Copies of this chain bind each other. A is one copy, B any other.
Amino acid sequence: MDTKDTKHSIEVCFSPALYGLHHNPESVVVVIDVLRATTAICTAFINGATEIIPVGNTEEARLYKQKGFLVAAERDGNTLDFADLGNSPFNFTPEIVANKSIVYSTTNGTQAINMASGAHKVLVAAFLNLSAICNLLAAEKRSVVLFCAGWKNKFSLEDSLLAGAIAEKLIASGTFKTECDSAHAAMDLWSLAQSNVLDYVEKAAQRHRLRSKQLDDVLEYCFSVDITEIVPVVAGNKVVI
């Protein structure tokens, strides 16, 4: 554990393929997949879900479905044929998710959650819970890894922006520091984007993917800041609150 009188370090990991370079069993890891997995997970809990079981591969998700679970599963933005829900936060309505356990498998986000499971604690972040995440990280008093799920191991702008927003808040609090180039880059990108994030993300590849599939109704919602105090956390093989 970090000592009391030292500032805690922040690292930003831009891709699951780089996570091995940042993994530290003593760190708190924050998983970020703004468009759309971690935004959808926060939404599920806002709307009363009791737990989420992230699964990496679609076959495992299919087996859960056969056992009677409510299953959300997508690849490349498309809801899988056997699944009850896809990856849109708007799928996770109170009518559907309240008091339910949900099995969830996505292209990037749920796999990142499972990769991070060896860390001291794993939190799930979205713009929706930005301040709540930062408050919890400040209370943890540990080094932090902001883990961007990206897109099939590639760097993604929107995840980097949220990492930058979190890093900036933590450093402004006075108890964190960073010597990580990725963290500096993420904060600088956030400084350019924050006055109009929706305009900024017009150039993001995932923005184009969602538009081309007519799945971009969620855009404004996914960049809504601080609409919840909920911070989902990994406990064993589940995400809970």
The answer, yes or no, to whether A66 is at the interface (CB within 8 Å) is: no
The answer, yes or no, to whether A211 is at the interface (CB within 8 Å) is: no
The answer, yes or no, to whether A167 is at the interface (CB within 8 Å) is: no
Partner of A203, one of B18, B184, B191: B184
Q: Chain B: which residue is nearest A15 at the CB level? A: B18
0 or 1 for each of A133-175: is its CB under 8 Å from B? (1 = yes): 0000000000000000001111111001000000000000000
Q: Which residues of B contact A182 (CB under 8 A)?
A: 154-155
Chain A residues with CB under 8 Å of chain B are: 14-15, 17-18, 21, 151-157, 160, 179-182, 184-185, 188-189, 191-192, 203-206, 208
Contact sample, A vs B, 12 pairs, CB 8 Å cutoff = A14-B14, A14-B155, A21-B153, A154-B182, A155-B185, A157-B185, A181-B204, A184-B204, A188-B189, A188-B192, A189-B189, A192-B192
